[in-house]
Each structure stands twice: as structure tokens, then as C-alpha cells.
Amino acid sequence: MQKFFVLLPKELIENWKTHKIVLVFAFCIALGLIVPFMADGNYHGDPLVNPLQSGYIVYDFTDWLSMGMLMLIPFMLMSTVAKEVKDGLAAAVLVKPVGRGAYILAKFLVSYLIFALAVTVGFAICYIYALRITRPWDLDPLSCELFFTMLGFMLLYTAFAVALTIFISTMLRNNVLAGAIAMVLLVAFYGLSFTENIRVFIPFEVVRWGWELVYPNAFQLTAYPGMTPPITSPYWYALWITIGGLLLAILGSILIIRKREI
Amino acid sequence: MINKNLAIQTINLSKKFGKLTALDDLNLEVEPNSIYGFLGPNGSGKTTAIRLMIGLSRPSRGNAYVNGLSCTARRMEARQVIGYLPDVPMFFGFMTGLDYLVFCGKLFGLSFKEAQKRAWPLLDLAGVKDAANRKANGYSRGMKQRLGLAASMMGNPKVLFLDEPVSAMDPIGRANVLDIIKNIKEKATVFISTHILSDVERVSDKVGIIDHGRLLVSENIHELKHKFSQNCITVNTLEDNAPLAGIIKTHDWCSDVIVRTNDQHMPELVIYLKDQIAARSALPKLICQQGFTIINYITTQPSLEDIFIKLAGVK
């Protein structure tokens, strides 16, 4: 257990010194600033969307963020285990009295922490900025409860994506291949979330669940042509599959690294 | 039968990669506070054997024990007493030499201060103290090996596994590191895997020679040389003597002949004899009858290289 707390700061410092933390935070903060700014620019004065609504802006932000994460998470984390094993760095650590489980958990925890904090900061910036610019017009500003619910679903999906990428990175020695496979899988989940019958089982639906909770708030005064009324349905299957998938990916990573030739 | 008094013991240690047998029934024993030189040609299974002994790889059959601890069943305890220097030491790009040693020390359970306190003398011993605050990835190959050696000693190991510890060093550096290894013997057992025979001859107490995954010999170095020296004659001739080797080999009193060139670029034959007495009279006469001019004719103790070549069959 003590060795786990030696690995944690090492992973954190490594992510800082290799600028991964900066990149992830920069992406989320930039998005948090750009999306409300674009919404203000695009929709201000639009009689269909006006009054501009904070809920819509945050909805828009999660849309962009979730698509960005499909690429950012595999790109940032593809080398996490694969490259260390290939370069002999994993051997340099695991030849010492360090559990292989602790090795994987430290990587997962630090990677998730970075993304979770960055997503939270981006969300917060977007939310505060959105409330500010919509104040004169928004009759029903997005409540804190809904904001935190959306954020919670987004953080859950981020955890799943991080765990999945680390799992694939653990399986393979080629970090580029690991990143590609992780990206393909995450994009596939996103694509499948648009299919009627199976989307309720797809992990990406937890993000959509957040959207649909916000939907009535986001679009209550909207009358865009062709826009269908909101359908709010519980995505319990997707929720449990996301949680289960996340736990299985972590467990799978630990089991693989234990059996693997390092 | 596990002997807990041994520093290293392997019992029928084997490793297969699919159909390829990388290691086949390795049985060796290493006494505590000794230096064991593990020799073999490239691809013979040296690194595979080490990786099994330090727990980075799982054996297909058999087991390895370090200080009486199984490298599979009691892996974590075994790693607490092991130090390892790989053939190509790698370091985290963001760490300085000192950072890396402190990190290693913390993984062995030392506090930050304890690890720093231990790191500086090791950096000094390894000769990289001046570069301690430089990024380790910027070190030269020789410096990386020295840093790797220092890192392998951070946990105060009882058993040190060194895979090609001096391959990237200049002669002075090599001599310096070999002296360090000789001194480590007082506190730990050293297992060196290398193909630089002169280094093994210089520091090792016991030698093991492996080829194609099989241990050919594991013996005290002096006894090994004595065993091979009793019937060995070295002949230098003026002419190229390769044809002569074939003729000599046909005689009953000869077991083997190795053809080579010595340090002075003179043709040389190393002749291993079955019957020294018969050869004493027959051999000089044979060489002259064949029209060769003898420059040197001496009974020699073969070098480790000669023994290695004879056993491993490398020409």
C-alpha cells in the first residue's frame, strides 16, 4: 500500500512535466470559454433561441466536450502502460517490491484525476460564463442540481473512457495501436448511441441522459423548426454497464499485467 | 530440494515461448557473498534466465529461489532482497539521476530523506555524482550503466543481478566498475551475465556457461581451468596452420583442435589431448613432417575464452 503512495506522486509529476496536465486543462478551459462565447455570438438576437438559455449553452458544451474526449483520452493515455512496458521502464519499476495492481491503479487514478479536474473546471467556467451572459433573458437558469447531475454523468463517462484506454494500453505493446483501438471503440460507442434499440445499453448514453435532464430547461422557449419534443427516459442499463465496464477494465488491466511478461 | 543457505538456486528452471525452448532445465547454485559469472553466446538464454530469477517472467517449469525465497510464490519478498541492472538501463525522461535513485529508494520503503542520504554516496561510488542533477536520459551510455548500477544498490540488496554491466564502458570505466563489483561481494552475492570473458575471469569465483538454453558447465573458475588445462598444448607456426588441424584431429591422442590467431596475429593451434604421453612424442614430429615451422610450443592453461569456445562450439 505504501508503494502505491510512492507511485502516485511520480505519475502526477510525470504528467505535469510531460505537459499532459497543461494540455488537458487547456482544452477544457478553452472549450468552457469558447462555447458560451460562440453561443452568444450565434444566437444573440435570434428570435427562435432568444431568450438565450444557460441550459442550452451547457448542453452545447457537453456535446463538444464529449466529442473532444473521444480523441483526447486515447491520445493522452495510449502510452500509459504500453510504452513503459516496451521501453523497459515498467520492468525497472516492477522488479522492485511493488505490486502490479498498485502500478495500474496509480496510473488509472492519476489519469482520471487529471481529466476529472479539467472537465470540472471547464464545466464550471462554462456554467458561470453562461449564467452571466444569459442573465438578462433566461427565465429559468440552469439550476445547480442539474448542473452537478450533468457533470456527474460526464465524470462517470470520463472514468469509463480512461479505464478502457488504460486496459487497451495494458494489453498491447504498441502504444499507437492501443490509442487507435481505444479511439475506434469510443467512437463506436458514440455512433451506436444513435441506434434506437441498442442505445440504452451503450455507455455514452449516460452523457445523453444528462442532456435530456437539461433538455426541457434548455429548449423550453425554443421553437426551432424540426426540433422534436424532449424525451426523458432513464438510462439505467447504460449506467450500470458504464460502471461495470469501468470496474472490469480496471480489474482486467490488473489481471493482464500480473500474467504478462514484462 | 530447496537449500535456504544458497543465495541463488534454480531447480529445473525452464522457459518456452511457443515451440521455442529458451531455457531447458537450468539447475544452478550460487553461494552467498560470491560472484557468479554467467556466460553464453548471444541468444543462449542468459537474459531469459535472469528475468525468471528476478520475477519479471514466469517459468514454464521449475522454479528459482533467491535467498531461499521462491521467485514465483514469494515474489514480493524476493524482490525486497534483489537488485537488478538490465543490459540497457532505461530511465524516466523527466527525472534527474538523483530523482531516479530517490524514487527507487522510496519503492524499497525508504523515506525521502533516507533515500537521498543513501543516493549521494552511491552516485559518488558509481562516478556520476557531478551529473546527479541532470536529466538521466541525457547521460551517455556508460553513465546510464553507472547510474543503473547505483540504482540497483539502492535497496541494499542481498543478491545483485547485473546483465552486461560494463558493455558500454571505456577500459578505465570498465576496470573501475569491476573493482566496485568485487567490493560488493562483501555485502551481497553478485550474478553477472556477460559475454566479455576477460571481465568474468577477473572478478568471478564461479562460472556457468550456457548455450541454446542448456547449462553446459557450472564450476569454480580455477577448478574449471585446471580441468581443461591438463591436456592442452598451444602451437604457433610460421605458416597458416588450418590444414594441420584436420590432420592432428585424426589421431587418437587428440580430442579437439581450435584454430585461431593470437594477439600478435600469428597462426595458433590450441590442441586438447586425450593422451598427453603419446602426444608428447608424436605431435612435434607430425608438425615438422607436414612441413610447418614451429615458433612456439607450450603447455598452456587455457583461457576462459578457450573453454567457452570449446564448450559452446563457437568458432
pLDDT bucket at A154, cuts 50 / 70 / 90 = very high
CA separation for the pair B50, B224 (Å, rounded): 23
Query: Chain A: nearest CA to B86, how far in angstroms?
Result: 8
pLDDT bucket at A261, cuts 50 / 70 / 90 = confident
Q: A92, B86: Cβ pair inside 8 Å? A: yes
Residues of A in contact with B101 (CB under 8 A): none
The 10s digit of each residue's pLDDT in B21-77 is 999 999 999 999 999 999 988 888 999 999 999 999 999 999 999 999 999 999 999
The 10s digit of each residue's pLDDT in B239-266 is 888 889 999 989 988 888 989 888 788 8
Specify whether the CB–CB gap between A152 and A242 falls below 8 A.
no
pLDDT bucket at A222, cuts 50 / 70 / 90 = very low
Least confident of B15-29, B153-167, B219-233: B219-233
CA separation for the pair B159, B33 (Å, rounded): 9
Specify whether the CB–CB gap between A150 and A64 falls below 8 A.
no
Amino acid B274: pLDDT? 81
Instruction: Please name the amino acid found at residue A166.
Output: I
Instruction: For B74, name the nearest residue in chain A, comparing CA atoms only.
Output: A97
Residue A139 has pLDDT above 70, yes or no: no
Q: Where on the phi/psi map is residue B124: left (φ > 0), alpha (ψ -120 to 50), or beta? A: alpha
Q: B79, A97: Cβ pair inside 8 Å? A: yes
More confident residue, A84 or A38: A84
More confident residue, A231 or B302: B302
Which value, in Å, is the radius of gyration of the alpha carbons in chain A?
20
Out of B80, B86, B103, the one facing A88 most closely (by C-beta) is B86
More confident residue, B92 or B201: B92
Amino acid A221: pLDDT? 44
Place of cell 562450439: B313
The neighbouring-strand residues paired with B209 are: B39, B217
The ipTM, to two decimals, is 0.86
Residue B151 has pLDDT above 50, yes or no: yes
Instruction: For B148, name the nearest residue in chain A, comparing CA atoms only.
Output: A92
CA separation for the pair A6, B109 (Å, rounded): 9
CA separation for the pair B78, B3 (Å, rounded): 15
Q: What average pLDDT does the structure give for chain B?
A: 89
What grid cell was written down for B23?
531455457
Which value, in Å, is the radius of gyration of the alpha carbons in chain B?
23
pLDDT bucket at A223, cuts 50 / 70 / 90 = very low
Amino acid A46: pLDDT? 60
Specify whether the CB–CB gap between B68 and B47 falls below 8 A.
no
The 10s digit of each residue's pLDDT in A184-195 is 999 999 888 888
Residues of A in contact with B88 (CB under 8 A): 88
